[in-house]
């Protein structure tokens, strides 16, 4: 609907006709806005569902991510940002809130955006929506890594102990929670005589073997609950 108050012949509309046209413009704009948001939301929810499925995230995480995205859309946070970016940031935040976090690298692997855009958009979304997201706990990654590597309950428990000792020693500060979890799982497997290679842990955790080796040494040095830790540490030094 044109903005000029003239008919098809160029004649000026009467006051009554102008009022009618203004009402039509208003309704037209409302329908356009609503349809645009509905298309936007449909695309975003499809992205969230696709990524969550690829990452093996449960239904409650998908639902939380959808709620976060809807809030971002309602509060007009999308201008200047991509639908994919906000959808990915919403899923990343939802996974952390639910205690089933995925690393940035894991999220980026299944997303259509790069790491820089994800980091920037994530920070923006949690700030603007005032979301409460606790720092990722290394222990929250342990069950998934142990399951993927088919480790025993004993090894998983031992990995948690290693991380707990590391936290008490303060060596976890400033280090990647994913790297610490991966190293703890590898060290625990060694301490419980379960055969797992650094390469296998690296693939499951999507972290470099160098990081695993570095964190692994630190975890064993911080661990003083088992004589086997000293032997394993000596093995690494060799």
Indicate if the pLDDT at residue 168 is higher than 60.
yes
Do 125 and 153 sit in the same domain of this protein?
Answer: no
| Per-residue confidence band for 33, with pLDDT thresholds at 50, 70 and 90 | low
| Boundary of a domain, candidates 72, 94, 129 | 129
Question: Do 97 and 145 share a domain, yes or no?
Answer: no
pLDDT grade for 135, boundaries at 50, 70 and 90: confident
Give the pLDDT confidence score for residue 176 in this predicted structure: 87
225 compared with 107, residue with greater pLDDT? 107
Give Cβ neighbours of residue 88 (< 8 Å, ≥ 6 apart): 47, 51, 107, 111, 112, 113, 118, 121
Is 167 among the domain residues? Answer: yes
Let me know whether 30 and 99 are in one domain.
yes
pLDDT greater than 60 at residue 227: no
Q: Does the residue 59 lie in any domain?
A: yes
Q: Is 234 left (phi over 0), alpha (psi -120 to 50) or beta?
A: alpha
Report residue 176 as tokens.
Answer: 């990647």
Whether 108 maps to a domain, the answer reads yes
- Confirm whether 27 is domain-assigned: yes
| CATH number for the domain that contains residue 73 | 1.10.472.10
Please tell me whether residues 107 and 143 are part of one structural domain.
no
102 and 72 within one domain? yes
Q: Is there a contact between 115 and 154 (Cβ–Cβ < 8 Å)? A: no
Residues 23 and 109 in one domain: yes
Q: Has residue 237 been placed in a domain?
A: no
User: With a threshold of 0.85, does the pTM exceed it?
Assistant: no
70 phi and psi, to 5 degrees?
-60, -40
Asked if 160 and 180 touch (Cβ cutoff 8 Å), the reply is no
For residue 67, give both structure tokens: 């709620």
115 and 143: one domain?
A: no
Residues 201 and 121 in one domain: no
Domain boundary among 94, 129, 164: 129
Same domain membership, residue 108 and residue 85: yes
pLDDT at 2 over 70: no
Domain that holds residue 96: 15-129
**Alpha helices in the chain, H assignment, sequence order:** 15-55, 59-74, 83-97, 104-110, 115-128, 142-148, 153-169, 177-191, 198-205, 209-222, 227-237
Cα distances from 200 to residues 122, 189, 206, in angstroms, run 30, 12, 10
Tokens of 82: 């991509």
Tell me: do 121 and 144 sit in the same domain: no
Residue 234 lies in a domain: no
Give yes or no: residues 75 and 158 share one domain: no
Q: Please work out, in degrees rounded to the nearest 5, the angle formed at the alpha carbon of residue 108 by the alpha carbons of 104 and 112.
A: 150
- The b/e string for 167-200 (b: 16+ C-beta within 10 A; e otherwise) is beeebbeebbbbbbbbbbbbbbbbbbebebebee
**Quick check: is 1 in a domain?**
no
Residue at a domain's end among 129, 152, 182: 129
pLDDT digits (tens, 9 = 90+) for 93-116: 999 999 899 999 999 999 999 999
| Structural domain total, the chain | 2
Statement to judge: residues 174 and 156 lie in one domain? yes
- Residue 89: what pLDDT? 97
Q: What is the mean pLDDT of residues 172-180?
A: 85
pLDDT greater than 80 at residue 122:
yes
């Amino acid at each position: 609907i044109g903005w000029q108050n003239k008919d098809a012949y160029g004649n000026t509309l009467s006051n009554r006709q102008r009022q009618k046209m203004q009402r039509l413009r208003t309704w037209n704009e409302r329908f356009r806005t609503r349809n645009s948001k509905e298309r936007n939301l449909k695309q975003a929810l499809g992205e969230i569902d696709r990524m969550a499925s690829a990452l093996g995230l449960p239904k409650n995480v998908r639902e939380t991510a959808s709620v976060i995205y809807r809030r971002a859309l309602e509060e007009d946070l999308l201008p200047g940002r991509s639908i994919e970016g906000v959808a990915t940031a919403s899923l990343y935040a939802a996974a952390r809130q639910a205690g089933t976090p995925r690393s940035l690298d894991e999220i980026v692997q299944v997303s259509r955006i790069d790491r820089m855009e994800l980091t920037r958009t994530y920070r923006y979304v949690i700030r603007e929506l005032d979301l409460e997201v606790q720092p990722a706990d290394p222990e929250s990654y342990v069950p998934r890594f142990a399951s993927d590597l088919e480790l025993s309950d004993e090894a998983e428990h031992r990995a948690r102990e290693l991380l707990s000792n590391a936290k008490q020693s303060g060596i976890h500060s400033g280090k990647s929670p994913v790297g610490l979890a991966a190293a703890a799982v590898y060290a625990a497997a060694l301490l419980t005589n379960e055969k797992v290679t650094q390469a296998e842990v690296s693939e499951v955790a999507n972290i470099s073997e160098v990081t695993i080796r570095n964190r692994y040494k630190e975890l064993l040095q911080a661990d003083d609950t088992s004589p086997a830790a000293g032997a394993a540490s000596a093995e690494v030094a060799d």
